[in-house]
Structure 1
Amino acid sequence: MLIGLAPRFDTMTYQISPLGTWLAAVLRSSVLACGIAAASGAYAATDPFSWKFSGFGTLGAVHASTRSADFTSTVLRANGAGATERWSPDVDSRLGAQLDVSRGPWSTVLQVVSEQDLEGSYRPNVEWANVKYQVTPDLAVRLGRIALPVFLAADYRKIGYVLPWVRTPVEVYGSLPLSSSDGVDATWRWSAGSLRNATQVFYGRTDTRLYEERRLKARGIAGLSHSIEQGALSARMSALTGVVSMDIGNELFTAMRAFGPQGVALAEHYAIESKRVVMLTGGFTYDPGQWFVSAEIGRARTRSLLGRTTSMYAGGGYRFGDLTPYLGYAKVRADSATTDQGLNLAGLPPRMGAIGAMLNAGLNVYLSATPIQSSVSTGVRWDVMDNVALKAQYDRLRPTDGSRGTLINQRADFRSGQTVHVASFALDFVF
């Protein structure tokens, strides 16, 4: 997994914010945005400013058959459905607000999203905040917090209403839970006959708090993305690289270094300290109106606990008026070792041997977090009214080869290879 969270050895108690607290926190951010928008609207009486306030949200409920782990939509969640709760609203539920302001060639966007984080809080988070300058009709430059243009749904992955299914496939989109970076990008739009092209280059960094004092840092995030459109066909290819540091497993590797050169070598190999990450993705959607198909593939490479993975999905659906049944298949595999013999304990004193055995076991717990999993999904979307959709989805997923797959919070009795059945319901809306 490109940027995933390995299991934690420490135990934590999470307090889930009541729905009222969640809504109040988001509304405070929304009121602030509305105030800015109102000021812009008043100023527009004398200057050609324009502004727009919009929002989106998902109210979800998910049930998972397992009691040994939690199913969730991203590793950046405190819990999910299964071991923690039989029915969980935290897997997919979120609320977002967006303010767009423009004047001439200049425009700004601010997007705030509230969803559960690793500490169980629904504190609103600034997802986008950037300034854009339209240099020419075909060339635009942005500065600030920008969506990473990786995968087809990069710009709308959190807006459930736009998706035909309940959520983006976790096997694929879970490989890059970070959806934005702080930096600059430039997009050039050009045509070749009937083929419309958009070529985007980007550069930035991120410093994200995970939980307690744990942080995810990435510097030198650079990449190239190219999108094409022709009739009903849309496609995107992207390449991204960056240097990632994450203080996950630091205690383990500090202890391993005390075992001399072999421990130092293991720590240098697996510690997530200034490790180069490379990710390549490609995908397409064909949607002539009555039906649609889409598919994506991604490869992530790094020499650390995060490992190397290949992921893919394919799916499609058919529209019968307001009803859209759909079917999908997704898979992620590990291209690096998910176990390691670790320290050589031969000849060590009994006490040191016991400590070494514990460290080796800990290393393999971390390595088992590299996802190996396949899933089949089916569901139906009902467009109840304009801007409101109700969805029901069934997923049958199976982690294999000793991996916990994309599940989190696994218990001691968790066994890889067991099938997990997941039922999801979601009410998506935009305004």
Structure 2
Amino acid sequence: MIQNRLKKSICALALLSCGHSLAHAGDFNFSGFMSIGGGFVDDESAPSYAGYAEEDITFDNSLLGIQLSSDISDELSATVQLTARNTDGFKVEAEWAYVSWQATDESTVRIGRLRTPFYMYSDYLDVGYAYPWIAPPNEVYYLPFNNVNGIDFYTTGTLGSFDTSLQVYFGGFTDVLNERGVDIEAKTRNQLGFAGTLAKDWWTFRAAYHMAKLSIDLEALPGVTGLLQTLEGAGFARNADRFRIEEDDAKFLEVGLNIDTGTFVAAAEHVELRLDDEALYADNIRQFIMIGVRTGDWLIHLTASKADDEASDLSQGIPVAPQTADLIAGLDAQAAGEANKRDVISLGTRWDITAGTALKFQYSDVDRDGQKGQKVYAFALQTVF
């Protein structure tokens, strides 16, 4: 039965994400995953969505990943996961690179480059075979950074009749953020997070909380330096400071629920990202809910996702007057440009061709607040090996 094969494959992927593998070569463990996909849109004059922007069918959404691990001793092991995406010209990048210490049968300590546990599917975010969609809903799974350099502690246990897990990590990162087509530096310091699950039989509840000191070099964006000089020259230094994200407090909250009875599947997730009240970036409030039915080798699912960001008030404190009208309008436009208002309905199918290989098709109707809508047709062949 495909249900049993799928459950076994998902269990294998969970082990893969923690440093185990599907294939062995002596003391060296090797595993991998691949996704070959693409799609098209109904109107390329509308804004692109999740990387899809052309009316002609393209195969521009593919990736290859391999994971290597080796035992150093009975308790120590080293793991490296490399990925290459066609969106980056198949440039090879290290997603994971860490050393693990098996402290007890239930507990592991890792140090190095780790996957940040923002979401329910974070551990196997790149392994498309592990979830129903071609990729998790873009409204929720949107953060540009998914890794952290640091240390974490992961443990499993029981609470009465429930299975539990807890992950705690500390670290930071320095990376490049593409903002309005320009690469700028972004970094976090003192990044601390907690993620825990409570599960029984066919359902799993998850909650996570993260905090960090965030810095983003917005002054590298065209026109920002001149805008700041204008604000400071007019006596609005406090408004100018809202464009300077330097060691600002950032907090990220996530709650999620996953259900799989074998025939009926469902998932829901809600996230919130909040920065300092006076920062340029909007407060991000996102969620999705998915329901699906599995029959034989097929899974049919329907997903509703929503981005309902709250724009910051960059012009707060500037008196309304004819001479400040253009300045206020410009600041309000900057703030609105950072706040996404979007509703998406997606209908998808998954056909498990064999254990370890799935073919997926997905249709998405994208409704943007105040902008032209978009219909997206996507497909992917996804496998693990």
Q: What is the TM-score when the length of structure 1 is the normalising length?
A: 0.75
The answer to whether the 8 Å contact 1:317/1:327 transfers is: yes
Mark the CA change 1:343 to 1:159 in structure 2 (over 3 Å): closer, same or farther. same
- 1:301 aligned residue (253, 265, 274): 274
Mark the CA change 1:320 to 1:262 in structure 2 (over 3 Å): closer, same or farther. farther
- 1:81 aligned residue (49, 52, 71): 52
Q: CA deviation at 1:385?
A: 1.6
The answer to whether the 8 Å contact 2:282/2:338 transfers is: no
Matches within 5 A, 1:191-340: 191-210=158-177, 214-250=184-220, 251-259=222-230, 260=233, 262-303=235-276, 304-337=279-312, 340=315
The answer to whether the 8 Å contact 2:343/2:368 transfers is: yes
Q: CA deviation at 1:151?
A: 1.3
The answer to whether the 8 Å contact 2:281/2:311 transfers is: no
Any idea what SS the aligned residue of 2:240 has? helix
The answer to whether the 8 Å contact 2:268/2:288 transfers is: yes
Distance 2:343 2:104 in 1: 45
Question: Is 1:185 matched with 2:185?
Answer: no
Mark the CA change 1:273 to 1:253 in structure 2 (over 3 Å): closer, same or farther. farther
Mark the CA change 1:344 to 1:123 in structure 2 (over 3 Å): closer, same or farther. farther
Mark the CA change 1:269 to 1:248 in structure 2 (over 3 Å): closer, same or farther. closer
1:168 corresponds to which residue?
A: 136
Q: In structure 1, what residue type is equivalent to 2:280? A: L
Distance 2:127 2:194 in 1: 24
The answer to whether the 8 Å contact 2:314/2:335 transfers is: no
Mark the CA change 1:346 to 1:335 in structure 2 (over 3 Å): closer, same or farther. closer
Distance 2:74 2:366 in 1: 50
Deviation string, structure 1 residues 64-118 (Cα, Å, up to 9, x no partner)? 2232344343xxxxxx322x6643433x32111111222411122110111255x
Q: CA deviation at 1:362?
A: 7.0
Any idea what SS the aligned residue of 2:29 has? strand
Any idea what SS the aligned residue of 1:289 has? coil
Any idea what SS the aligned residue of 2:66 has? strand
1:370 corresponds to which residue?
A: 339
- 1:113 aligned residue (77, 83, 94): 83
Higher relative contact order (CA 8 A, sep 6+): 1
The answer to whether the 8 Å contact 1:262/1:343 transfers is: no
Unaligned runs of 5+ in 1: 1-37, 45-49, 74-79, 403-415
Distance 1:367 1:271 in 2: 17
Unaligned runs of 5+ in 2: 1-22
Q: CA deviation at 1:389?
A: 0.7
Deviation string, structure 1 residues 340-399 (Cα, Å, up to 9, x no partner)? 589769576xxxx8xx94895376246413211111110111111221111110000111
Q: CA deviation at 1:177?
A: 2.6
Distance 1:366 1:62 in 2: 32
Distance 2:239 2:216 in 1: 17
Mark the CA change 1:358 to 1:254 in structure 2 (over 3 Å): closer, same or farther. same
Distance 1:342 1:172 in 2: 32
Matches within 5 A, 1:99-110: 99-102=68-71, 103-110=73-80
Any idea what SS the aligned residue of 1:364 has? helix
Deviation string, structure 1 residues 158-206 (Cα, Å, up to 9, x no partner)? 11111111110000011x2311100001112221222111111111111
Q: CA deviation at 1:121?
A: 3.3
Q: In structure 1, what residue type is equivalent to 2:330? A: A
- 2:38 aligned residue (61, 83, 86): 61
Any idea what SS the aligned residue of 1:155 has? helix
The answer to whether the 8 Å contact 2:282/2:335 transfers is: no
Q: CA deviation at 1:248?
A: 3.0
Deviation string, structure 1 residues 267-303 (Cα, Å, up to 9, x no partner)? 2123333221101001011111122111010111013
Mark the CA change 1:262 to 1:324 in structure 2 (over 3 Å): closer, same or farther. farther
The answer to whether the 8 Å contact 2:191/2:211 transfers is: yes
Distance 1:338 1:249 in 2: 19
Distance 1:106 1:136 in 2: 12
Any idea what SS the aligned residue of 2:292 has? strand
Any idea what SS the aligned residue of 1:336 has? coil
Q: CA deviation at 1:139?
A: 2.0
Q: In structure 2, what residue type is equivalent to 1:330? A: S
Q: Percent identity?
A: 27
Any idea what SS the aligned residue of 1:254 has? helix
Distance 1:305 1:89 in 2: 36
Any idea what SS the aligned residue of 2:359 has? strand
Question: Is 1:423 matched with 2:377?
Answer: yes
CA-atom RMSD in angstroms: 2.6
Q: CA deviation at 1:129?
A: 0.6
The answer to whether the 8 Å contact 2:190/2:212 transfers is: yes
The answer to whether the 8 Å contact 2:239/2:315 transfers is: no
2:18 corresponds to which residue?
A: none
2:14 corresponds to which residue?
A: none
Mark the CA change 1:64 to 1:342 in structure 2 (over 3 Å): closer, same or farther. farther
Distance 1:383 1:342 in 2: 58
Q: CA deviation at 1:51?
A: 2.6
The answer to whether the 8 Å contact 1:140/1:187 transfers is: yes
